[in-house]
């Protein structure tokens, strides 16, 4: 027996080339021993040579896709092999982190474009530095037999690469080539067409056609982004009149149509390859790409298939989710034929099974850093460390809200926030939610000791939580408290870090008083909160209908400040009399302090989609786009009565400015900016007061309204030089609720245990 060390490496260390990295490092340092994948991560036995340097370099020089959380070592006496070896994976279960899918690396890209390479033109080239991971994974440890690549037997050439520790494809589980791997074909009119599938698809796209393209996490619908006729055809077929389309292009293509900073360029090239909102600049694309917007959502091609298609087509493409309205993205070939045939003129398909549906992630970069709008492909299943004080937190499952569904699992000091699952009103989306819960639970070997859900009793997630809980504790978390806790958790705010002033601005969330909240300043922490300030509530005429039809929100706000005659003029074609009767009778008109509905009201007054929004947030997004072009101004004021902000003065000033449009002394852009600035100033002043009084230690900004980069910037400007916590890795919208719920529940259970 020889004295050595047993070294455990925890984190995202499987499927990233970590074992060959360890093998090469150990050989370079003259070590003997072995390295193995197991359910806890990577386990190393080593002796001889410079073990201290070896340990240091395990994290310092780790492969690009690796994320090392912890390196632990202990003395070990063992009988080592004569050299250093890579051993076969051991065990089942899951405590290690799963690697997200990663965009095509430069080496693989060079190969598919090199006529002399055996993978020239191959749409599924990958290595340990790139390619599918989470979307093809059945279980852990991450081995080929545990992926959808198990159906493809490697040819001798691929097998040799897979077995060679010096090759970058050593144990790259999806390794394949045209001889042995997944196959691509072009399908039209119900049959496969002979010839080069990529060339056939590019030709049809060039003729104005729409092609359903099977990607990593599901199907996209693609068309020529420069062809107004093709864009209109896609919008008509998909019944999607105005919601912005995502775009795919090379960096050179993107730079023709959008401003691109160095930070944005770097983010586009990140292995996550997100859709990034970029300011329009240069050659204009047709308005139909993103009606009423000043930004465009761009992504780089992130698979060899996408690179080859763009190379063949030669221009930017729309790449929008392949799904029926409200349903999840289609992943299977049969489902695509059934559901996308009415949209697509042809299909670009392959035979590698997608085991896990993943939308494209959506982000934007602000002066304050990155902002995650949709957490999805490339970002999941990454985890976040729990803040100090939660070391003993039990395993928790939190179910989020009704919109922008996502679940969160807590285990072993980490929080795993799932990918975006969609709005859970749709039956198929709810099925996908249940599948995701089962999937993550099995993958993470998760056994929750407690559950968390929203306070709203009619949310599907809340009902599901009550069905699941049994004898285990269920903590119902108020919607905006969850937003606050989510921001605290992401920023590592300690459990005993003190109370924070949370400015929470979003659409809707049930308050403990039975009204619908949405524009609050909360003073709180993980354990609880006080509501210190809020927008004056107004009725939501028709309940959910008020979320879709902005005129309803404008009507009640104008009526409340004695400007009903203005509403009569603006909304003469709407059923205003009937709506007013509903308010008087209290019929399906719950009171709400929603900031989101205030945005809708102002947008409707300015003529922005007053009758109906064709997608969630349309009015607010268009209002922001206008405001970014306005002239700087302190903004409209609000009166405060106790904790209540009354927008009466704001509406009177806004209408004065609206009348001034005729004289040219004002612009719609200026009015939109003044609304943003006044709202930001009002809430920032209230939060700052709590800091000045010593009641709060910092300010946290959360809620879907803070996806508005202009509102975020203005709020920070009015807050000034105070500690501010922002969202960078977790959505500020309801996609981040589950994280906050999980931390509130963990704190509750820990306090129960601490109190005996």
Residues 548, 665 share a domain: yes
- Interacting residues of 279 by C-beta distance below 8 A, sequence separation 6+: 258, 259, 294, 295
Q: Is the pLDDT of residue 95 over 90?
A: no
pLDDT at 92: 57
- Give a yes or no: residue 689 inside a domain: no
Q: Which domain covers residue 65, as residue numbers? A: 2-86
Find the CATH number of the domain harbouring 42: 3.30.70.100
Check if the beta carbon of residue 528 is closer than 8 Å to that of residue 484. Answer: no
Q: Is the pLDDT of residue 663 over 80?
A: no
- Give a yes or no: residue 359 inside a domain: no
pTM of the model: 0.94
Find the CATH number of the domain harbouring 152: 3.90.870.30
Least confident of 78-87, 98-107, 141-150, 554-563: 141-150
15: left (phi over 0), alpha (psi -120 to 50) or beta: left
Query: What tokens were used for 164?
Result: 């060679």
Find the CATH number of the domain harbouring 188: 3.90.870.40
pLDDT at 364: 97
Q: What is the mean pLDDT of residues 203-215?
A: 98
Torsion of CA 512, 516, 520, 525, to 10 degrees: 30
**pLDDT tens digits, one per residue of 129-182:** 999 999 999 887 778 998 999 999 999 999 999 999 889 998 899 999 999 999
Query: What span, in angstroms and rounded, lies between the C-alpha atoms of 26 and 7?
Result: 12
Residues 104, 34 share a domain: no
Residues 193, 334 share a domain: yes
**pLDDT tens digits, one per residue of 378-388:** 999 989 999 99
Q: What is the mean pLDDT of residues 596-609?
A: 97
- Give a yes or no: residue 683 inside a domain: no
Query: What span, in angstroms and rounded, lies between the C-alpha atoms of 680 and 674?
Result: 10
Residues 346, 201 share a domain: yes
Residues 550, 663 share a domain: yes
Q: Is the pLDDT of residue 40 over 60?
A: yes
pLDDT at 51: 95
Residues 112, 64 share a domain: no
- Give a yes or no: residue 668 inside a domain: yes
**pLDDT tens digits, one per residue of 460-497:** 999 999 999 999 999 999 999 999 999 999 999 999 99
Single out the residue in 182, 213, 236 at which a domain terminates.
182
Of 382, 434, 386, the closest CA to residue 410 belongs to 386
pLDDT at 744: 98
- Give a yes or no: residue 93 inside a domain: no
pLDDT at 94: 53
Number of structural domains found in the chain: 5
Residues 395, 325 share a domain: no
Residues 547, 439 share a domain: no
- Give a yes or no: residue 603 inside a domain: yes
Residues 337, 453 share a domain: no
Single out the residue in 622, 651, 678 at which a domain terminates.
678
Check if the beta carbon of residue 512 is closer than 8 Å to that of residue 492. Answer: no
Query: What span, in angstroms and rounded, lies between the C-alpha atoms of 323 and 336?
Result: 9
**pLDDT tens digits, one per residue of 500-538:** 999 999 999 999 999 999 999 999 999 999 999 999 999
Residues 227, 188 share a domain: yes
**pLDDT tens digits, one per residue of 228-255:** 999 999 999 999 999 999 999 999 999 9
- Give a yes or no: residue 284 inside a domain: yes
pLDDT at 367: 92
Query: What tokens were used for 567?
Result: 């509403």
Residues 446, 434 share a domain: yes
Residues 550, 656 share a domain: yes
Single out the residue in 140, 166, 182 at which a domain terminates.
182
- Give a yes or no: residue 373 inside a domain: no
């Amino acid at each position: 027996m020889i004295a050595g060390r047993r070294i455990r490496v925890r984190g995202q260390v499987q499927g990233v080339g970590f074992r060959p990295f360890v093998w090469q490092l150990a050989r370079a340092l003259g070590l003997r021993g072995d390295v193995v994948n197991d359910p806890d991560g990577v386990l190393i036995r080593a002796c001889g040579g410079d073990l201290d340097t070896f340990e240091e370099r395990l994290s310092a020089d780790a492969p690009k896709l690796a994320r090392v959380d912890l390196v632990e070592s202990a003395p070990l006496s063992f009988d080592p092999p004569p050299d250093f070896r890579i051993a076969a994976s051991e065990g089942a279960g899951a405590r290690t982190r799963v690697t997200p899918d990663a965009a095509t690396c430069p080496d693989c890209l060079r190969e598919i474009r090199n006529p002399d390479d055996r993978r020239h033109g191959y749409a599924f080239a990958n290595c340990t530095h790139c390619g599918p991971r989470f979307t093809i994974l059945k279980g852990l440890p991450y081995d080929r037999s545990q992926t959808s690549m198990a159906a493809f037997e490697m040819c001798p050439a691929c097998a040799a690469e897979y077995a060679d520790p010096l090759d970058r494809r050593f144990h790259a589980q999806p390794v394949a080539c045209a001889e042995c791997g997944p196959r691509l074909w072009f399908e039209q009119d119900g049959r496969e067409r002979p010839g080069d599938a990529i060339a056939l698809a590019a030709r049809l796209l060039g003729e104005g056609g729409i092609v359903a393209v099977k990607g990593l996490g599901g199907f996209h619908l693609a068309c020529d982004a420069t062809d107004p006729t093709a864009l209109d055809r896609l919008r008509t077929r998909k019944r999607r009149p105005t919601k912005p389309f995502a775009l795919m292009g090379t960096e050179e293509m993107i730079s023709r149509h959008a401003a691109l900073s160095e930070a944005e360029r770097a983010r586009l090239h990140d292995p996550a390859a997100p859709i990034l909102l970029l300011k329009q600049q240069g050659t204009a694309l047709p308005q139909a790409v993103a009606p009423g917007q000043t930004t465009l959502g761009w992504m780089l091609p992130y698979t060899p298939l996408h690179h080859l298609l763009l190379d063949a087509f030669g221009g930017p493409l729309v790449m929008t989710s392949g799904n029926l309205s409200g349903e999840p993205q289609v992943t299977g070939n049969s489902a695509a034929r059934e559901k996308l045939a009415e949209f697509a003129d042809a299909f670009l398909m392959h035979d590698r099974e997608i085991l896990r549906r993943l939308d494209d992630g959506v982000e934007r970069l602000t002066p304050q850093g990155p902002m995650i709008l949709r957490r999805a492909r490339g970002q999941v299943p990454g985890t976040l460390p729990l803040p100090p004080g939660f070391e003993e937190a039990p395993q928790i499952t939190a179910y989020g809200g009704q919109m922008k569904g996502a679940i969160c699992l807590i285990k072993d000091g980490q929080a795993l926030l799932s990918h975006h699952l969609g709005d859970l009103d749709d039956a198929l989306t709810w099925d996908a939610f249940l599948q995701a819960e089962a999937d993550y639970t099995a993958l993470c070997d998760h056994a929750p000791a407690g559950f968390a859900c929203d306070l709203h009793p009619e949310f599907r997630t809340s009902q599901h939580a009550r069905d699941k809980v049994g004898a285990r504790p269920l903590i119902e978390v108020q919607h905006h408290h969850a937003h606050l806790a989510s921001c605290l958790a992401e920023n590592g705010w300690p459990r005993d870090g003190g109370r924070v002033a949370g400015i929470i601005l979003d659409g809707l969330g049930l308050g403990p008083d039975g009204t619908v909240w949405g524009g609050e300043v909360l003073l709180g922490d993980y354990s609880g909160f006080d509501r210190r300030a809020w927008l004056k509530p107004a009725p939501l005429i028709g309940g959910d209908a008020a979320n879709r039809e902005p005129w309803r929100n404008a009507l009640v706000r104008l009526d409340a400040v004695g400007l009903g005659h203005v509403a009569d003029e603006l909304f003469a074609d709407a059923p205003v009399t009937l709506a007013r009767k509903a308010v008087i009778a209290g019929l399906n008109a719950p009171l709400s302090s929603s900031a989101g509905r205030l945005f809708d009201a102002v947008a409707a007054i300015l003529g922005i989609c007053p009758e109906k929004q064709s997608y969630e947030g349309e009015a607010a997004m268009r209002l922001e786009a206008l405001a970014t072009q306005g002239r700087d101004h302190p903004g409209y004021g609000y009166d405060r009565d106790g904790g209540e902000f009354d927008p009466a003065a704001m509406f009177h000033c806004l209408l004065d400015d609206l009348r001034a449009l005729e004289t040219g002394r004002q612009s719609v852009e200026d009015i939109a900016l003044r609304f943003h600035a006044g709202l930001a100033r009002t809430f920032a002043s209230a939060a700052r007061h709590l800091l000045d009084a010593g009641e709060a230690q910092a300010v946290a900004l959360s809620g879907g309204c803070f996806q508005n980069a202009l509102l975020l910037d203005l709020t920070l400007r009015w807050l000034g030089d105070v500690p501010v916590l922002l969202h960078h890795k977790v959505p500020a919208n309801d996609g981040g609720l589950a994280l906050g719920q999980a931390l509130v529940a963990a704190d509750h259970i820990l306090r129960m245990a601490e109190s005996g």
